[in-house]
A = this chain, B = another copy of it.
Amino acid sequence: MASTLIFDEYELTMSQAFWRVGLTGPVAFELVLRSLPRHYGYAVTAGLADVLDFLTEFSVSGPDLDALRAAGRFDPRFLDHCADIRFTGDVDAIAEGTPVGAGTPLLRVTAPRIEASLAEGALLAIVSHQTAVATRARRIVDAAAGRPVSDFSLRRLPGVGSARATARAAWIGGVSATATTSAGLDLGIATTGTMAHHYVLAHGPASEQEAFAAFLREFPERAVLLVDTYDPAVGVARAIAASRATGVALQGIRLDSGDLDVESRRARELLDRAGMTQTQIVATNDLTEDRVAALVAAGAPIDAFGVGTALATSAAVPALSAVYKLVAQRTAAGWEAVMKHSAGKRNDPGRHQVFRQDATSDILGLADEDLPGQTLLEPVMRAGQVLAGRPTLDAARTRCAASVAQLPDEIRRPRATRVLHVRPSARLVTLTRALRRAAQST
């Protein structure tokens, strides 16, 4: 982490106020996906591994603390206290790669109040982003119906700082490779990449075939040529000629403009006529899950997709409505459930457990309830230490693919007509009503 002060300033003002009056005992916050985006039947959890790294390294220290002291906005004795803060709490979380519905707590932090508070901004940013990317990736991969999808999102990311996290979440969602070299090497996942238009342009308009031949000689194992720098039909003919001239089998051609349905049929015909029936057609150019699904439904002969913008962001769903909310605090009498009452915002009080009934329905109960079904929130950190046996990135990816495969098409499709359903337990309903009454009577 570049800085150790990655939080909203109000966490620090609140923390100083808590410190002053000794309101520093254990509390429980849950990071909740409040609602599903429109047209989404589910979301795919991701980001937990980075949350655990963040909490393990968490401190307010060094030059950052000096800068904070110099700013003079906080009590120096409180900042002395901050210097000693490490994350000493517990985390329970739903495994990465799990499909979930609206109202689901993705993780719970149980920790001394100041530690739990200071983590808010970073945890929301990490989990919201990766969950959004993993969900988008899974929806696009699903729409591609078995055709591989590559992550070409680097240039559409908000700065280079999110390259690794985006590639990671897209991998959980099921993409086949990333174009981001650093992320691929760091995460140990497949990378992909052959050429851009400027490679072809470098050789001049009269030399497209020569450019292709040089590339095939250089990278016979990556023989995918971008054919639409000038005219795609001419480009395909030159790709075929370059393959014959070099003796390197043409693995694929890539189309990055125009009507991809029309162009892919035209390219397929040219390739087949040349006997290159094994040569694949790769399509890119602002593809979304809707466009991928439409191309597949139309029967466009496209064998693989590359997706950038629609992984990095989404016009339909620019941000997930995730919140990090105080759900309980420990008093002399034990754990006490809490709930805010702000208009129009759903809030489930208390510490929760998610009981999965089957692939498509969950019960949101209280953590100490004993309900049927698989419990999704499981211990992952205790007293600041990550528990052994954390699943690998590939395990999350496998879980995602297997779990989503169990969902019916109405939940999976880009414009879902049904959602993964989450209903509250009877005890949670009772507790919510009791707290509402209590607040109204004060």
Contact = CB atoms under 8 A, between A and B. Distances in A.
Contacts of A1: 160
Interface in A4-19: 4-14, 16-18
B194 A10 contact: yes
A145 to B, nearest CB: 25
A206 B442 CA distance: 6
A373 interface: no
Contact of A23 (B16, B64, B121, B202): B202
A395 interface: no
A198 B326 contact: yes
A402 to B, nearest CB: 27
A157 interface: yes
Sorting the interface of chain A by its residue count into under 10, 10 to 19, 20 to 34 or 35 or more gives 35 or more
A171 interface: no
A203 interface: yes
Number of copies: 2
A316 to B, nearest CB: 8
A256 interface: yes
B179 A8 contact: yes
Interface in A416-442: 438-439, 442
A232 B291 CA distance: 45
Given A67-B185, A161-B161, A230-B439, A9 B192 contact: yes
A77 interface: no
B162 A159 contact: yes
Contacts of A4: 182
A255 to B, nearest CB: 9
Contacts of A315: 315-318
A339 B54 CA distance: 46
Contacts of A313: 313, 318-319
A371 interface: no
Interface stretch (A83-91, A92-100, A211-219, A355-363): A211-219
B155 A342 contact: no
Contacts of A126: 159-160
Contact of A162 (B10, B18, B158, B185): B158
A159 B160 contact: no
Interface string A165-198: 1100000000000011110111000011111111
Given A9-B181, A154-B8, A159-B165, A218 B318 contact: no
A8 B152 contact: yes
Given A130-B159, A161-B165, A7 B154 contact: yes
A110 interface: no
Which of A8, A23, A124: most chain B CB closer than 10 A? A8
A177 to B, nearest CB: 9
A10 B206 contact: no
A8 B181 CA distance: 6
Given A158-B157, A185-B71, A218-B20, A8 B121 contact: no
Interface of A: 1-14, 16-18, 20-21, 23, 27, 29, 50, 54, 64, 67-68, 71, 73, 113, 117, 120-122, 124-126, 128-130, 132-133, 152, 154-166, 179-182, 184-186, 191-203, 205-206, 214-215, 218-219, 222, 228-232, 256-259, 309, 312-319, 322, 324-326, 329, 338-345, 438-439, 442
Given A17-B218, A232-B343, 10 more contacts: A6-B154, A9-B184, A125-B155, A158-B312, A201-B340, A205-B439, A257-B345, A309-B319, A315-B315, A315-B317
13 contacts: A1-B160, A3-B186, A6-B160, A17-B214, A18-B199, A64-B182, A67-B185, A125-B157, A128-B156, A155-B324, A205-B442, A257-B344, A312-B318
